[in-house]
Structure 1
Amino acid sequence: MATPLSLNTLDQLPETIGKPSYARSDLSGGILHFGVGNFHRAHQATYLHQLFNQGKGHDWAIVGAGVMEGDKRARDVLAAQDWLTTLVEQEKDSSGAQIIGSMVDYLEPANAQAIIAKLADPAIRIVSTTITEGGYFLDATDTFDPTHPAIAHDGENPDTPKTVFGMIVAGLKARRDAGHAPFTIMCCDNIPHNGNVTRNAVVGTARLSDRDFADWIVTNVAFPNSMVDRITPATSDRERQIAADEYGVQDGWPVFCEGFIQWVMEDNFPLGRPELEAVGVEFVEDVAPFELMKLRILNGGHAAIAYPGGLLDIHFVHEAMEHPLINAYLAKLTAEEFLPGVPPVPNTDTSEYQKLIDRRFSNPKIGDTIRRLCLDGSNRQPKFIVPQIRDALARGGSITGLALESALWCRYCYGTSESGAVIEPNDPNWDMLVATSAKAKDDPQTWLTGLPAVYGDLAQNEAFSTAFAAALNALWTDGTAAVLTKYLEDQPL
């Protein structure tokens, strides 16, 4: 019988489960984190847990926060187990579980005044974010969009904000008015130049209501860039059952992930930071080379296997890697179109990094799903694929495989797989994508011009639009397997 997870039951859990060596009473909140999801708990929260286990940094515990009504259910689940999380790390030949205890509180989601009050607390010296790639209000040129209705609301109502950035601005202003130094804002999302992007969002939001204060933020607030990495699937009943059956712990929201973990970050923390280098975080002067390598090879690779996998009714990511055509497509696309756009990375062999990514994608235990990789393409494509197309065109490189990836995404958004199975909504803009994909079946250019937030002026590029149209027409005429075969054999699509 599985033991319900709580502080009072830690001693009752099986000895095989790792448990915190520190007491909850030894911790105090130093970081307020927006976006308490699986990745955050498998990554930032885990690094801090490991540091606390060394007896270090106990004043850097996490206080959770959220701005969405849906965050309330997550808070309720974690509150019932005293903010503890069961983390299960799985590799092909090994697995293990531990209890993560680095969170000490989770503020009531969408309670702007409570969150602003905590942001104003001088004990909070870092504010971190994991709010997904689509949470930064970017347009097709990766520029902050101050006209978005949610941001416009916060500009007009700075004292009652609804977005993360509106709350951060209000918190910074409260600190300044109280004579407290500003916290550092640390983005942990998978976006290029994530610190710079976060700065633009915070400053852009502030500028709508107080231009002088926006200038103060530019001068006084630190936004370190970072690269984060760990494959972390969504939690389902499958994971809850495994936690109970194999590890003897009843956890309403366990986190399953791979064993691999990486965090590379600029060291720019005026109010101090946890000693994260003691647990493997790498601090560097310039994150950009590491970030670009990861975004192009790993995130681009995820996109490359996602949509053919979805169209061929493949459920798990490791099963897509076992499919000879999908595996070969990823290898050819990476070698010919991803890697040429990756500059040298300090102390890193990019070809070995590619092999590492292949091994990680092929992990059969992690249970990562093709549907998760297909999620939110309208926000992920402009960050992981479209920049690679632009760069390849600029250097005169091949875009055949990249155009095919875009066409596979378009075909997926038609809403049915090749077997005729219905693809359930899988994007915030799903209805619009389905309608646009239907039009593109007869006129491929409709897809490019109909998604200005994704493609921008790339829709007018003749080389790309021609390659895209050829790939999409071929997918509808010949099917995914035949088109992948043609691509692999260097035949015209």
Structure 2
Amino acid sequence: MTTKLSLSNLASLPATVARPRYGRENLKAGILHFGVGNFHRAHQAVYLDDLFNLGLGHDWALVGAGVFEGEKAGREKLARQDWLTTVVEQDEGHMSARVTGAMIDFLTPGNAAAIIEKLADPGIKIVSLTITEGGYFIDPASGRFDPTHPDIVADAKDVAAPRTVFGIILAGLVRRRADGIVPFTVMSCDNIPHNGRVTADGVVGLARLVDEDLAAWVRDTVAFPNAMVDRITPATSERERKILADDFGVEDAWPVFCEPFRQWVLEDRFTDGRPPLEKVGVQFVPDVSPYEQMKIRILNGGHAAIAYPAGLMDIHFVHEAMAEPLVRGFLEKVEREEIIPTVPPVPDTSLQDYYQLIEKRFSNPKIGDTVRRLCLDGSNRQPKFIIPTIADRLKAGKDAAGLALESALWCRYCFGTTDSGAVIEPNDPNWDRMQATSAKAKDDPSAWLAMEDIYGEVGRSASFAAAFAKALDALWKDGARATLTRYLAG
């Protein structure tokens, strides 16, 4: 017997399921969030739910928003359950479920006019984003905003009818400026280096295409704090829905399963106040850079290191990849010898202890995180999580044999077959390009490194090109298993 999740059924949920200790009728919208996906609902929304449960910050409730047609399906699921989400935390010795109620509305994705109207509401004091690495219109080679992107050019020509997140945010700021309302803070919660600066580059860069005075006003009056966010949160499938129903008796169309660990380090720069999130574990710091670089290089770079060898070896789950000695050994060797030495010191943190924690988190058998998810979108992720580390190694005159092998594994994966011959379904927004380039690189490895927008200066390094070519040749001749065995043997 299961209970369908809804406000009216909260009291009927099994006693094993925690639920909000505050009345939803007492909440007021203070944050508009773009990108209502699993990570947001397992991270920012959980911190806010914790805060509301303490009886604090009830005027900082969430309103969801989005720009893509595909986001409507998620909205419909949440609408049927009054915007509630069940969050299930799991590791080897722990499993718990809670219902969160921090979101009180979700505007129809793509309805720019309605979203802009909400952004003009003085009650909205923060606009937050989890729009993934690919949503920021970044030129991968430079790491900077690309003002020539067709969608950005279109928004600049018709500010009143924007199609992008940045266009909608800018239109909301224009309304507030005209009405004499304090601008909201724009707070990225995405997993990209210097996410606040990158977001500012996008909004200010778009404004500059419209009007220099507007760009100067945005630059001078709007806060864009940098943040480091962390929680492993896989996609929801029928597996998760069934576990929730069988183990907790809750029927939720879109639950979130995640690890118990979570972290949020945030610069304390806001234009019009903020919720007291330090009461629920958020670290407010003057500069998030050290934490950010540690996480992006060690955790996200580590994800890439295990993703592609595991993908080529037909391994499905991440914890299964960590149980394979060759994959685990590759991760440890490349982390300790090449990645961790490039990470500057972090306040009150041991990098070795942090890596041990990462290794434990990757090995969590309960999460059900998939290797395919880790392999997703390499064309956007590699320039952020791997290639800067290679660049630092090369600048210091150090070798990068392990990271060259990681690049070769990614190239081989993009060919579209595993070592057993199984077909790899498209797994990158630029899959056609990546697959065609991988095919060329089979005979001419330099074709892969010639992707200037991805590799930049690293692709022009003779020493890296030699190491990459050697690794790719070995992968084609002998496969991932034999190549990793030789690498680990030194």
The TM-score, its normalising length taken from structure 1, stands at: 0.98
Structure 1 Cα separation of the partners of residues 345 and 399 of structure 2: 20
User: 1:46 maps to what in 2?
Assistant: 46
CA offsets per residue over residues 308-345 of structure 1, 9 Å max, x none?
00000000000000100110110000000011101110
Structure 2 Cα separation of the partners of residues 82 and 313 of structure 1: 40
CA offsets per residue over residues 126-155 of structure 1, 9 Å max, x none?
000000011111111101101111111111
Task: For residue 458 of structure 1, report the CA deviation from its aligned partner.
Answer: 2.3
Structure 2 Cα separation of the partners of residues 324 and 86 of structure 1: 35
- Tell me which amino acid in the other structure corresponds to 1:315: H
- Tell me which amino acid in the other structure corresponds to 1:397: K
User: 2:88 maps to what in 1?
Assistant: 88
In the alignment, is the contact (CA less than 8 A) between 1:128 and 1:185 conserved in 2? yes
Q: Secondary structure at the match of 1:121?
A: coil
* Correspondences of 1:118-133 after superposition (within 5 Å): 118-133=118-133
Task: For residue 452 of structure 1, report the CA deviation from its aligned partner.
Answer: 2.3
Task: For residue 3 of structure 1, report the CA deviation from its aligned partner.
Answer: 1.1
CA offsets per residue over residues 65-121 of structure 1, 9 Å max, x none?
000010111110000000000000001101000001000000010001101111111
The reply to whether residue 458 of structure 1 matches residue 458 of structure 2 is yes
User: 2:242 maps to what in 1?
Assistant: 241
Q: Secondary structure at the match of 2:144?
A: coil
* Correspondences of 1:287-302 after superposition (within 5 Å): 287-302=288-303
The reply to whether residue 205 of structure 1 matches residue 206 of structure 2 is yes
Structure 2 Cα separation of the partners of residues 73 and 367 of structure 1: 23
Structure 1 Cα separation of the partners of residues 393 and 459 of structure 2: 15
User: 1:157 maps to what in 2?
Assistant: 158
Task: For residue 33 of structure 1, report the CA deviation from its aligned partner.
Answer: 0.3
Structure 2 Cα separation of the partners of residues 175 and 270 of structure 1: 13
User: 1:105 maps to what in 2?
Assistant: 105
Q: Secondary structure at the match of 2:18?
A: coil
Identity level (%): 64
- Tell me which amino acid in the other structure corresponds to 1:375: L
- Tell me which amino acid in the other structure corresponds to 1:173: V
CA offsets per residue over residues 256-315 of structure 1, 9 Å max, x none?
000000000100112110110000000011100000000000000000000000000000
Structure 2 Cα separation of the partners of residues 59 and 314 of structure 1: 46
Structure 2 Cα separation of the partners of residues 489 and 153 of structure 1: 54
User: 2:287 maps to what in 1?
Assistant: 286
Task: For residue 224 of structure 1, report the CA deviation from its aligned partner.
Answer: 0.5
- Tell me which amino acid in the other structure corresponds to 2:60: W
User: 1:16 maps to what in 2?
Assistant: 16
The reply to whether residue 410 of structure 1 matches residue 407 of structure 2 is no
Q: Secondary structure at the match of 2:367?
A: coil
CA offsets per residue over residues 426-451 of structure 1, 9 Å max, x none?
110111111111111111111111x2
In the alignment, is the contact (CA less than 8 A) between 1:336 and 1:398 conserved in 2? no
Structure 2 alignment gaps of length 5 or more? none
Structure 1 Cα separation of the partners of residues 90 and 165 of structure 2: 33
Q: Secondary structure at the match of 1:104?
A: strand
Q: Secondary structure at the match of 1:63?
A: strand
Q: Secondary structure at the match of 2:416?
A: coil
- Tell me which amino acid in the other structure corresponds to 1:61: A
Structure 1 Cα separation of the partners of residues 275 and 36 of structure 2: 19
* Correspondences of 1:220-369 after superposition (within 5 Å): 220-369=221-370
CA offsets per residue over residues 183-221 of structure 1, 9 Å max, x none?
001000000011000000000111111111011101100
CA offsets per residue over residues 232-278 of structure 1, 9 Å max, x none?
00001101111111111111100000000000010011211011000
- Tell me which amino acid in the other structure corresponds to 1:162: R
Structure 2 Cα separation of the partners of residues 206 and 69 of structure 1: 25
User: 2:5 maps to what in 1?
Assistant: 5
Structure 2 Cα separation of the partners of residues 71 and 351 of structure 1: 39
The reply to whether residue 448 of structure 1 matches residue 449 of structure 2 is yes
In the alignment, is the contact (CA less than 8 A) between 2:84 and 2:101 conserved in 1? yes
Structure 1 Cα separation of the partners of residues 181 and 133 of structure 2: 31
In the alignment, is the contact (CA less than 8 A) between 1:136 and 1:201 conserved in 2? yes
In the alignment, is the contact (CA less than 8 A) between 1:138 and 1:144 conserved in 2? yes
In the alignment, is the contact (CA less than 8 A) between 1:207 and 1:213 conserved in 2? yes
* Correspondences of 1:425-436 after superposition (within 5 Å): 425-436=426-437
In the alignment, is the contact (CA less than 8 A) between 2:221 and 2:271 conserved in 1? no
Task: For residue 398 of structure 1, report the CA deviation from its aligned partner.
Answer: 2.3
Structure 1 Cα separation of the partners of residues 399 and 353 of structure 2: 23
Structure 1 Cα separation of the partners of residues 439 and 108 of structure 2: 42
User: 1:217 maps to what in 2?
Assistant: 218
Structure 1 Cα separation of the partners of residues 137 and 457 of structure 2: 19
Structure 1 alignment gaps of length 5 or more? none
The reply to whether residue 472 of structure 1 matches residue 472 of structure 2 is yes
- Tell me which amino acid in the other structure corresponds to 2:151: A
The reply to whether residue 75 of structure 1 matches residue 75 of structure 2 is yes
User: Over aligned residue pairs, what C-alpha RMSD do you find?
Assistant: 0.7
Task: For residue 457 of structure 1, report the CA deviation from its aligned partner.
Answer: 3.0
Q: Secondary structure at the match of 1:404?
A: helix
Structure 2 Cα separation of the partners of residues 240 and 434 of structure 1: 34
